[in-house]
Structure 1
Amino acid sequence: MLLEDNPADAELLQEILLDAQWIDWQVQAVSRLRDALTALSQQSFDVVLSDLHLPDARGLETLQKLKAAEDIPIVALTSL
């Protein structure tokens, strides 16, 4: 899952992942933490790539809520 609220950044990351043809990536992109939490409750993912600054969560709060919902590897994406 890709959790990114900037459409341009989300599109770029998806293109980069899809260009890595040695793995058959399937990416579900969401732009809000609440949407990510819903998706995590409905299906399984191998990893979450997450921006830390979202419209409905900021910083470590984002990671804490993701980890509380599902024990899954999280890669934090930030430009800071």
Structure 2
Amino acid sequence: QAINGSNVFRRAFSEVFRRRSLLFVGSGLTESYFVNLIAESLFSLGPSAMPHYALFTAKDLEKADPEFLAVRLGITPIVYGES
């Protein structure tokens, strides 16, 4: 609700995503609302010059599309274990 109901939150997230390197830990990057938030940022501000990373277990990465994360969202998935 906070993400969808607050333009201020979405703009703030977009600025942080664009200007800082982020490490996503337990972030739910397989959730559509979160992917949509990042995609909105990329659409309105363009790609970030900063690298972004996300930690996944091998099991959790099976639920995501690593190529989509890397190419479309600019987030490099890092696998740290099986489960």
**Bigger helix fraction:** 2
TM-score for both structures, normalised by structure 2: 0.39
Q: Which protein has the larger Cα radius of gyration, Structure 1 or Structure 2?
A: 2
Higher relative contact order (CA 8 A, sep 6+): 1
